[in-house]
Amino acid sequence: MKSLLLILSLLLILLLAGLWVGSGSYPQLWQLDERTAQQEAENKKKKEDIRKIQAELDDVKSGDAAIEERARSQLGMTGKGETFFEVILQPDEKTKKQEAEQSTKKDNE
């Protein structure tokens, strides 16, 4: 009777050990859940990027307004009868002082 109890106890221990070590164990399952959550977050970000690109494509297909807007903002395009003005802002005194302090700190290092 004692030997049967000992054998059954050993089998139970081996079965429980399989839950914590090896293939299909709890730690492995938790790690898989974590990787799944990371992949879902990455997929969500990529879907948002795809949606943005698709919206840009739809704008380009629908008319010339999107193309003209891009040309104006990125390439400095001007239309007929328009004059291009570039406004250069002068930094205020605080900004000048901060830049001077930063440059002296870098020179001292």
Is residue 61 in some structural domain? Answer: yes
Is residue 105 in some structural domain? Answer: no
- What is the distance of C-alpha 14 from the center of its chain? 44
**Cβ distance 26 to 20 under 8 Å?**
yes
What is the pTM for the complete model shown? 0.46
| Sign of torsion over alpha carbons 17, 20, 26, 29 | negative
Measured at the CA of 92, the angle between CA 86 and CA 97, to 5 degrees, comes to 130
Is residue 65 in some structural domain? Answer: yes
Is residue 40 in some structural domain? Answer: no
pLDDT band at 42 (very low <50, low <70, confident <90, very high): very high
Number of structural domains found in the chain: 1
pLDDT at 39 over 90: yes
pLDDT at 77: 82
Is residue 52 in some structural domain? Answer: yes
What is d(CA 21, CA 108) in angstroms, rounded to the nearest whole number? 58
Quote the domain boundaries for residue 72: 46-77
Mean pLDDT, the chain, rounded, equals 84
Report, in angstroms and rounded to the nearest whole number, the Rg of the chain calculated over CA atoms: 33
- Mean per-residue pLDDT, 25-38: 91
pLDDT band at 79 (very low <50, low <70, confident <90, very high): confident
pLDDT band at 86 (very low <50, low <70, confident <90, very high): confident
- Mean per-residue pLDDT, 49-67: 85
Is residue 56 in some structural domain? Answer: yes
pLDDT at 106: 67
Is residue 62 in some structural domain? Answer: yes
Is residue 109 in some structural domain? Answer: no
